[in-house]
Structure 1
């Protein structure tokens, strides 16, 4: 029986084992094959999924909607105006009501305590579509992309450049350590992960042999990297900090010089999107008017290069989200895999 996943929530990567995360990635690759070959996989026929979005989203919302539909389930979107935790109804009461009607709940928002409360009181599997602390569904897609490109995850060196204490950086550090990848976080000392997050990652690294490096030295951080990864310099809710972030993070821009400093010809580039690599967005235009910059965390040259895999990575959000929903609700037989 599927004791690893059935009925389980995905709130943060650290709640699973590295073998379980790797199993979900391999399941996602199988589901991607089924989709590409038009083979039906209605493992969740008759199920209803609540999609709670306190924060806006393009990829996460689309991924959960398409994944649920492909699996034969009905997804129902509830936006920030529809869910009012603590305003008109408490989190506990809302969770109990939703749990009585839906078979699974996705939550994307701010506080990790909300997604934990939903899981505690709803009685159904809950999936974290992003909180301030963690971004587990993004990680499954990221490491699936690495597995597809390189044929393995163990021993791959991934270097993240920029705001190294946001949810993506936290999750990369911990998930990479769990899967035996070497993770380098490169950014200014004021934007590095908390001691608590570093301790969680170090505990997993001790088991897998993953090498972790947190530094403000770009040259040391990128040397020998197989993957260079970046994210926007100010997350949702930090829009007032652009001036400070630009000053701090410009030296850590993912540009062609940084790619060449890896010393490898096979390095790929990843970005969880949206990316500010040109002036085709209102935000980029506003920043250009204020600071004179045409590119922010990644240059257009790198973003458009053949070794940039951000769109494969984005497409894999759907396949990995489908895997976690199928595994936790579909009564599938799944044996845990480990990468040898």
Structure 2
């Protein structure tokens, strides 16, 4: 049976921890196996990408596989071919597909009709590869004590925020989320996170107060306020200004706080230039870890899919 990675809840807590441990072995050079030897993996992207595209292409190559990069305007789907027909066709040519699209429903449809593993490389609703990697970054620092630290997400309740809710539930983390009224995360992802918390002992708290979220936090996480393909509405920017990660807000966190950003950053909006540069080394380690975590994810998906 093929395994997809459309949403983070498609892996179990036990599988999640196993992927993190594999990522650590891969990063340390202990595991050098070429798990994708002879495999062809397609990258089907309808949106721009720097970190996700490059990290997946390098990961696939280092695991012995080949990549084929596809853009929507180069495929017949851009001229009206049914997406399900594209999915069934590509399933006959390649061994797996990594998809970045602005429609989560389209990704789900593609996965439904595909006979090969489908990986979500970002949609309007979720970014599971990012959050899996971010949790690995924290696991690398805190070990299994990551379950006892306070993690604060401040800003827009977007696809990254949605997936953090599920990640907290899956790994039993303590997550505080601060968003303005009207910009809360998805209720579907919140409920999925809550359901997982009942199994793993994690906890999720939602608030409109950024200080409450950040107070005594070990980790403060933010993301852009305006995602790709969204209009830059002044009303939204105005609502989010109190959620900027700056020195004043960080003064409420632990002195040794770690600041995370999934990039790209719009400095001067969700985070100040000063704060970003103060934590740049950790932020770019976070970016690097996309490579190691995605290698572990690919190992998992192709070893469990039959």
TM-score range, shorter chain: over 0.9
294, 314, 324: which one pairs with 2:287? 314
Distance 2:211 2:243 in 1: 10
The 3 A distance-change label for structure 1 pair 208 and 81 is same
**Number of aligned pairs?**
304
1:155 aligned onto 2:128: no
Q: Deviations along 1:78-102, whole A, 9 cap, x unmatched?
A: 0132245373311111001100000
Instruction: Check whether the contact 1:302–1:308 (CA below 8 A) recurs between aligned residues.
Output: no
329, 332, 339: which one pairs with 2:302? 329
1:20 aligned onto 2:11: no
223, 229, 236: which one pairs with 2:215? 223
Instruction: Check whether the contact 2:101–2:122 (CA below 8 A) recurs between aligned residues.
Output: yes
Q: Deviations along 1:97-128, whole A, 9 cap, x unmatched?
A: 10000000000001112222222212000100
Q: Deviations along 1:204-230, whole A, 9 cap, x unmatched?
A: 112222221111112211112111000
56, 81, 84: which one pairs with 1:89? 81
Distance 2:17 2:291 in 1: 16
The 3 A distance-change label for structure 1 pair 126 and 150 is same
TM-superposed CA distance for 1:331, in Å, is 6.3
The 3 A distance-change label for structure 1 pair 151 and 85 is same
TM-superposed CA distance for 1:40, in Å, is 4.2
Q: Normalising by the residue count of structure 1, what TM-score does the alignment of the two structures yield?
A: 0.85
1:31 aligned onto 2:23: no
Q: Which moved more, 1:90-99 or 1:40-49?
A: 40-49
Q: In the alignment, which residue of structure 2 is the partner of 1:191?
A: 183
1:274 aligned onto 2:264: yes
Q: In the alignment, which residue of structure 2 is the partner of 1:257?
A: 248
Over aligned residue pairs, what C-alpha RMSD do you find?
1.8
Distance 1:323 1:127 in 2: 13
TM-superposed CA distance for 1:71, in Å, is 0.5
Query: What SS does structure 2 have at the residue aligned with 1:107?
Result: strand
Q: In the alignment, which residue of structure 2 is the partner of 1:141?
A: 133
Which consecutive residues of structure 1, in runs of 5 or more, have no partner in the other structure?
1-5, 278-294, 333-340
Instruction: Check whether the contact 1:52–1:83 (CA below 8 A) recurs between aligned residues.
Output: no
Distance 1:176 1:182 in 2: 7
The 3 A distance-change label for structure 1 pair 185 and 85 is farther
Instruction: Check whether the contact 2:172–2:200 (CA below 8 A) recurs between aligned residues.
Output: yes
Q: Deviations along 1:32-73, whole A, 9 cap, x unmatched?
A: 112xx7x74311111000000011100000011000000010
Instruction: Check whether the contact 1:174–1:197 (CA below 8 A) recurs between aligned residues.
Output: yes
Which consecutive residues of structure 2, in runs of 5 or more, have no partner in the other structure?
none
Query: What SS does structure 2 have at the residue aligned with 1:192?
Result: coil
Distance 1:135 1:329 in 2: 20
Distance 2:249 2:86 in 1: 47
Distance 1:83 1:271 in 2: 33
Q: Normalising by the residue count of structure 2, what TM-score does the alignment of the two structures yield?
A: 0.94
